[in-house]
Chains A and B, each alone.
Chain A
Amino acid sequence: MTRAIVVGSGISGATVARVLARNGYEVVVLEKGRNMFAGLGGSNAAVTNLFSNDEVGWESRTAPINQDPVTEPRSFRSDPSEGDRVFVGDVNDLPTTVGGGTLHYDAKFRRYREVDFVANSLMGGTADSPAIPGTTYADWPMTYQQLEPFYAVSEEVTGTQGPARMRDGRVYNPNPYESPRSTPFAMPPGVQQLNSLLPAESARRLGYHPAPVPTSIVSRPYRDRPPCNDCGFCLDYGCTINAKSSGVWPLNDALRTGRVQLLSGANAVEILYSRGPNGRFKAQGVRYLDPEGHPGTLAGDLVVLANTPIEATRLSLLSGIAPAQPNPSATSGSETEPSGLLGRNLMFHYQTATITIVDQPIHSFRGRTSTQTLDAFAGSGPGPDQFDPTVPMAGLLEIGGNLNPVTEAEYFASVLSGEAHKQMMALGPFVDHLCTFTMQGQDMPQLTNYVDLDPAIVDVWGQPIPRVTYKNHPYELAAAAYYAPKMVEIMENIGGPGSAYPTIRPLFVLQLGPGLPSVLETPAGAQVQENVVNNFPLSDVPASAHIMGTHRMALDRDHGVCDPYGRYWAFDNLYCAGGALQPTAPGYNVSLTFQALSYWVAAAIVGGVGGQDSYTPLEVGSNMSTLVSVLKSTDPDTMIAHVV
């Protein structure tokens, strides 16, 4: 039996483990963090968790599933000219736990559009001459149509609600900004929250087409899990009733095969490898540390890095696959990493936010954080024939937003105290009157945005920490500036002529940013956050949870770290899966694409696809039948398996 080692148990690692195990592989999943679940390996209904509706533990304090920024810090600088670092602490920290970052997301589960896969060539760029100066903007090695079945199966396996439904025997999608789907959602949208409906209704009167947001939270009993009851504790919280469709559910599918071993508290620190007879390198296993630093070694026939783009880079650099600090003048890579691009092209999303306080109490604290989306600002599309290169590409608007009272109290504490503060709390402008837009703007890939190892600082186990070097490109700043006034216009139109909500009026609208690199200014930032190192200056340190790139996939080894199926070019059996592979960062929430890419990589491993020294688009196309047949045999009970 082939034994695979998968590093990371988030939605990417869980998906790889699931596909491999369902196809007969023996799999060991290494997870650095703790396990908050019991009953894994049994039916979904028997899985219990340690989550609660707890503002203090999950928002006011560093959550128990999050990476600890003191014992496991990261460092940051925007440019090497600033020195080795300007900040140490929480830099893009995500949950480090069984199930990964999807445990605490609010589960907006979005596909990228057809144009997003080919935007560089639509704008006249090539692989060697990107359309946007100063970037490494590129087409993806696969098309939307090729990835579409993997989007569909991921939505269905994980459990996703959304508005696209069957009508007259065809899939009808009320969101005109999305690309064609071959299947409907498995269940309809759940209850819409008022602070999503208000801006959406306003946008509709202005000629836009908002729609219920596809969300990976079950709205109906689904695969032995109960439907969401809109408890109001979604973003930043683990779901107490298991309605949120996190990576733990594909992981549980994997564990149920009996061929998967989950090791939590196992911190992979080195990939073991040697050169094989064919000249390529061969991964032989992984060395890891337990929570108290005791080492362990696992041997395997293949290794898949499914941790975050930042941690996957760190692990490769700790293993000597590329230099710990890149040589800025190098024109190519090393024997083990020929592209010289490992860690580079790190991307986030450039967030631009608008907050509105309305007069009526609209209980913003209830619901799933955001239940409507407006995709009009992602750029023209969704098809190539609709593409206009002069229209800026930013991203979707997340519509809704909520805030807990501890955070509201902290925010106002910097200016109010005593009776005045209490009076403000009774009004509850954030807790009870808040509507927000958050635009997740497309972030340009740049060679100068990268992850390497900090030259001096170590974590609590003595391992070098990852360092993020990052600054924005003028493109995303300009796109944000272009759309920000339109966001304000929609908010100011709430309750205006013809409104379905004539009794509700916006009292004022505030534009947050643009100007901050991928950082949403949060009220929590106003005060000390416990066990979070004081951010200085808050606005310069990336905090985005949408982390992409560092392991760009490409058709050849000159243009990417990995081949179109996630394999490191110089290795026979070392793969990366998930968002690290993305060549670009389209302005949509990332987890679904991470999962679809992971399914794609795993299907290629199972199907024996790949292994070439370069590919043509035609070859990628001709491999599709193999990938799809793996999908059909792995998930025969899905809608997509009936369609493809």
Chain B
Amino acid sequence: MLSRRQFIQMAVVAGAAAAIPPVFESFRQAAGADTEAAFFLTPQRWATCQALCSRIVPTGSDPATDPGATEAHAVAFIDRFLAAFELPSSVADNPPIWVTGNFSGRNPTSRDGYATSDFPPDAFLSDSGTGHFLGLTPTQEVSWRLQLYGPDYLKTLPPWVSEKWASQIASLIPVAYPQGLRQLYDDGLDAFDSWSKSTFGTTFAGASPEEQDAMLAVAGNVVLSNVWTNVPLPTPPAPPAAASELVPAITLHTFQATYGLPEYAWLNQVDDPAYVERLGGTAQWRAIAYDGDTEPLGNSLFDPNMYGPGEGPNEGFGMEGVYVPFGGYREFRPVSTLGDSGTVLSAADAEIVKQAIVEARSKK
């Protein structure tokens, strides 16, 4: 038997679906969202980078339902991040470190317990393809320029920066990427290419997926890559240091591009309907049963006419003579109950998950 609350939840799901307008009314290619335009990487390095990203998160047999880093435009994400301080204002109003604005426009507003048909505009990326990012404070700019340009930047520090601080950077204050991310990418991408040529006789981009996977696993010291398939990978010789050094960074950036807000790769709902849709988030998020950004709708909807279990009309909360807010919640997407999305883990899956977690912890 359904409780009143469960019944209401079921009713809400139906009601909310009806209240949401048809999606994909109009799609336009945003002018500035030409994600093939390179701002930092040379064509050769772009190709190598693209090939690496596509093996870090590979595309499945159906790119629409099982996309990878390619569909997420990871290489554009990386290129523009590396050129953060050199992008034209038509592409980004500030360095693409932190998007700014509240909402992506993938979720509507709500009112009185129901989703409305009012989808706010994408605050992070305009229709013309300009990304909206937070302006950096002077210290944030120093920090991110140092991260991107490395020691070269120390020669062009603003006059207000302490010389003593600058002199301590190299020896006492370690930064995450000592040579700077731009140099790290240039050297690392070149190293993957030369390693591939000497090992497999072709550029990294020209190597087979199995050869690429093998190089990535060896360079990244990844130990369980064939854990599900048990298919042995080729065994390339020891990688150049620059290739190994690039792996943590390019892996992180590929994940950020693939599993983070698509606007960091200049994608939103108006320029790739196969990848991004309203309320459904990105295809990448759907593939892992994740919502992505949910505001302003959120997952629960406040309804002034409804009360939670055991609450009554807010009976007992607050004291006499004092303003008592009242109302209750509908769960638009299940929060307190099981839903129908996601994957049930089998015992075999659980063993692999456990093995991976234990292995990852032991590598620290």
Contacts and interface: CB of A to CB of B under 8 A. Distances in A.
Q: Do A and B associate with each other? A: yes
Nearest to A71: B139
Contacts of A441: none
B102 interface: yes
Interface in B172-187: 172-177
B229 interface: yes
Interface string B277-297: 000000001011111111111
A534 B302 contact: no
Contacts, number: 399
A273 interface: no
A217 B316 CA distance: 19
A432 B249 CA distance: 25
Contact of B213 (A357, A411, A418, A456): A418
A426 B284 CA distance: 10
Given A52-B103, A241-B295, A420-B225, A88 B172 contact: yes
A146 interface: no
Given A230-B335, A462-B164, A50 B100 contact: yes
A406 B174 CA distance: 24
Interface stretch (A220-228, A253-261, A377-385): A220-228
A70 B288 CA distance: 35
A634 interface: no
B43 interface: no
Contacts of B220: 413, 417
A216 B301 CA distance: 19
Q: Is the interface of A mostly helix, strand, loop or mixed?
A: loop
A459 interface: yes
B192 interface: no
B222 A417 contact: yes
A82 interface: no
A359 B222 CA distance: 26
A229 B301 contact: yes
A366 B165 contact: no
A614 interface: no
Interface in A529-544: 529-534, 538-539
Contact of B308 (A48, A188, A530): A188
Interface string B129-149: 000001001111011101100
A274 B316 CA distance: 55
Contacts of B110: 229
Interface stretch (A11-19, A60-68, A121-129, A556-564): A60-68
B311 A188 contact: yes
B356 A410 contact: no
A527 B252 contact: yes
Interface stretch (B13-21, B26-34, B266-274, B324-332): B324-332
Interface in B34-78: 55-58, 60, 68
A139 B161 CA distance: 45
A425 interface: yes
A426 B329 CA distance: 30
A280 interface: no
B222 A413 contact: yes
A507 B350 contact: yes
Interface in B321-364: 321-322, 324-327, 329, 331, 333-339, 341-347, 349-350, 352-354, 356-357, 359-361, 363-364
B264 A424 contact: no
A429 B339 contact: no
B237 to A, nearest CB: 18
Contacts of A632: none
Nearest to B175: A70
A419 B229 contact: yes
Contact of A56 (B228, B261, B359): B261
Interface in A391-420: 404-406, 409-420
Candidate in B220, B259, B264 with the most chain A CB atoms within 10 angstroms: B259
A424 B360 contact: no
Given A363-B334, A429-B353, A459-B165, A53 B292 contact: yes
Given A227-B302, A456-B168, A527-B248, 16 more contacts: A52-B295, A64-B98, A70-B143, A70-B169, A186-B324, A188-B308, A191-B300, A357-B350, A359-B345, A410-B252, A413-B252, A417-B220, A427-B343, A432-B289, A432-B343, A457-B168
4 nearest CB pairs, A to B: A361-B342, A229-B298, A462-B162, A220-B325
24 contacts: A50-B134, A54-B293, A56-B264, A89-B174, A186-B325, A188-B314, A220-B302, A220-B314, A230-B300, A232-B291, A359-B346, A360-B338, A363-B333, A405-B255, A414-B359, A415-B223, A416-B224, A421-B57, A428-B289, A458-B162, A461-B160, A521-B361, A528-B177, A534-B174
